[in-house]
Structure 1
Amino acid sequence: MTNRKTYAALAAAALVATTVTATVTGASPANAQAAPPANAHCGTSTGDTGANAWTDHAELRDALETLEAQRSDVLDVSQIGASNRGRAIWAARTGTGPKVVLITSEIHGNEKTGTDALLALLRDFTAPTPEARRLRSQVTLVAVPKMNPDAAELDRRGNDRTWAEVVADFPQLASARPAWNYYTQPRSGDDYASRPGFDVNRDYHPDLDYVPRPEDFPGSSAQTGWYIHPESQAIRDLYKSLKTEFGAVDTYVDLHHQGPCDLDESGENQVTMSLSGKFIDIANHQEYDRGYRLDYSKQLTLAAYDALQTRGESPFGSLTLYPQDIDLPGTGLGSFALNGSGTVLFEVRGQTQTWGAKQRGQLVQTVVNGLDGIIDALADGSVTQVDPARYDDIPETQ
């Protein structure tokens, strides 16, 4: 595992998209409409997080080191940064194709299926199979599992960072009010009063060279972020290096979680996952428009949706469209969409404080299957043939 390589100098390595064949639990039609178990907390209650069932930071390091040793001809793992508490942030790169797909997981540390899904993808997509080789020649995949390791180790949404630490890094902010997304009170069972932190997914700015200014604080959810955290800085710098190398990052996918008990528009089926390709109201951010492609993001979203729908009457088919009336330019998805990337959000059911590790296998496989659909459609070019108008036909969450 190499340390802090510049991505422009990374040796080309390989990618792909054959479907992971791990056994899926709970994939029967009956489970699609089953009532939530009694210990699935649907409000603000805190349940059993089941954190030990998920891949922690040390286990992720070991998994990436092992896989890189086994597939060194097609996989390169590099440290691209470090968290506020000094934990490594790694990117795994595979593939030599002209279309770049960047995928991140665990920007919120209690949203863990994406990390396990990315490990599964990397294992399968670096396999010595004809299909994997073909896909590796068409797509370059860069995966950043567990991009917010401090939050992940604390099993909470926010990172582990005080406003005083921010000011120490950016002295020009000494007179500014703390950012609006600074957590200092209990939240979802976590005591931010004794260990403050920030929602890192509000720290992005579409100007990739932006330098924090005191007049931009405290800001709001409808405004841009500031790149004041090492975690978001690492992803921004990776994105910039890929743009320099390839001219564009074709696709960016961010893997998240939502509540455990949402229902689809029929009111009968529990939502396994929500998808979205829209995160901003472009009319409000024309000054940052560097090639915004909403229709392309819709096509990518439909590629994931269609791949999961082919699974038939099972929880894989219980998908909805994430709320569309949002305008979040301070998110990674909003920022990179404004920079011309096709962008897709995955929102799996249940964060650890409400859902623990229940249905882990099924939920991880849902993410894998959706990512497979996107990469397959990119590789063969069929994504451009998808009618973006069908996006509005995806059922909404009730």
Structure 2
Amino acid sequence: MTKNNRTTSIRTASGRRLAGVGLAMAALVAPTVALASPAAAQPATAHCGTSTGDTATSSWTSHAEMAKELRLLASQRSDVLDVTRIGTSNRGREIWAARTGTGPKVVLVTSEIHGNEKTGTEAVLSLLRSMTAPTPEAERLRSEVTLVAVPKMNPDAAELDRRGNDRTWAEVVADFPQLAGARPAWNYYTRAQGGDDYAARPGFDVNRDYHPNLDYVPQAKDFPGSSAGPGWYVNPESQAVRDLYKSLKAEFGAVDSYVDLHHQGPCYLDENGEAQVTMSLSGKFVDVENHQEYNRGYRLDYSKQLTLAAFDKLSAYGRSPFGSLTLYPQDIDLPGTGLGSFALNGSGTVLFEVRGQTQSWGAKQRGQLVKTVEHGLTGIIEAVGSGAAQQIDPDRYDEIPETAR
């Protein structure tokens, strides 16, 4: 653990401190969503290029606003919710986690590891409001699962509204002197990308900084690495989530499920070329045969079952924007992602890829997209809690429509 990851807590009235889950701002989520067809819901124009477009940054919850909302919810529901600082970003912003439930199965959720992918943060706060509510349904879910969420886990990138964090290679070497003389990591951004000038403020794609060996110590011989290999935990943001994951494993014996909330391009079509894709899903992130030295109980079928739990929940809404779902490309092998690393450690893992980052999509269809994420997460939590996930036929996974790319 680096100096950035000293842990503090917002404690409950009883003095308990729990290990963490996150959220986002429910007040900004539209309360109702029209069940129009995907075509009808599609705006007339979409920015499908790579340059900066309608970011609509003010429409999304800032880091300071999120902290305020977390504190408020923790004070309102102190009997069932704990909020904890699990670390700080490279620029000193708190990385918050929130936790609710006492069930034996842990569902860990992270959002905004890429700072221009913001719907997940909003959806998690809305989910926590419903999960901590004094209702029979929420009480049942809390008795079945322990929900732990880390919203806006890359706050420096979120405040800059860009993919990468705000950290130089020189700062990495200062924290890890054994890397002096090593070539910078392959995922270190120093040039313009996605409309952002990393030459002025370099940073890393934190979602390539994970390693399946949760105790890995960076070594110069492992740099610059590649997308086909593990990462290094050289960034405080990935270290914070890694340390949280390890603490949950120590407490529960395993982290049952891990869901990471992302965005993709705004203009993908389904496999028939007819409908705009609202969200893509995936339960596969590594080719396990390439990483057997790190295999600690890889469960691809369970990841497929969890993916189908989200898919089925959303498909139940019928022909609506929630139903325009596809399978994320399966020809990927990314052990340096949180999903890949935690899958190799035995967790069921699911990727959500909502349409459009802020530079290409702004806040268009904001309410619909946030609710899509929230409903999908609810489907997974319900299936994990009841045990229904393990009754789903994993072979149905291959029947999810593919994306036309």
- Listed one character per residue, the Cα deviations across residues 8-47 of structure 1 (whole Å, up to 9, x for unaligned) are x7359999xxxx9952345312x44655532x21122321
Contact 1:279 1:333 in 2 (8 A): yes
* Equivalence map 1:218-257=2 (5 Å): 218-257=224-263
The residue that corresponds to 1:154 in the other structure is 160
Distance, in Å, in 1 between the alignment partners of 2:397 and 2:39 is: 22
Out of 276, 288, 291, the residue aligned to residue 294 of structure 2 is 288
Q: 1:133 aligns with which of 139, 152, 155?
A: 139
Shift of 1:343: 0.1
* Alignment match, 1:27: 35
> Shift in Å at residue 4 of structure 1?
1.9
**Matching residue of 1:37:** 44
Counterparts of 1:99-114 in structure 2, within 5 Å, are: 99-114=105-120
What SS class does the counterpart of residue 90 from structure 1 fall into? strand
Residue 4 of structure 1 pairs with residue 12 of structure 2: no
Choose which of 78, 82, 99 in structure 2 pairs with 1:93. 99
The Cα offsets for residues 23-74 of structure 1, whole Å up to 9 and x where unpaired, read as 2345312x44655532x21122321100110001000001000000000000
TM (norm. structure 2) is 0.93
TM-superposed CA distance for 1:113, in Å, is 0.2
Offset, 1:112:
0.1
Residue 241 of structure 1 aligns to which amino acid in structure 2?
S
C-alpha distance in structure 2 between counterparts of 1:286 and 1:6, whole Å: 40
- Partner Cα distance (2:42, 2:306) in 1: 31
Question: Aligned AA for 2:44?
Answer: P
> SS at the partner of 2:226?
coil
**Structure 1: gaps spanning 5 or more residues:** none
CA distance in 2, matches of 1:188, 1:383: 37
Structure 2 residue 361 is matched with structure 1 residue 355 = yes
**2:8 partner letter:** R
Structure 1 stretches of at least 4 aligned residues deviating more than 4 Å after TM superposition: 11-15, 33-36
Partner SS for 1:152: helix
Q: CA deviation at 1:3?
A: 5.7
Note if contact 1:13-1:95 (Cα within 8 Å) is conserved in structure 2. no
Instruction: Give 1:390's aligned residue.
Output: 396
Instruction: For 1:1-398, list aligned pairs within 5 A.
Output: 4-5=8-9, 10-11=17-18, 23-29=31-37, 31-32=38-39, 36-38=43-45, 40-398=46-404
Query: Quick one: distance in 2 between partners of 1:233 and 1:13?
Result: 15
Q: How many residues align?
A: 390
Please provide the CA RMSD for this pair.
2.0
Q: Which residue of 1 aligns with 2:3?
A: none
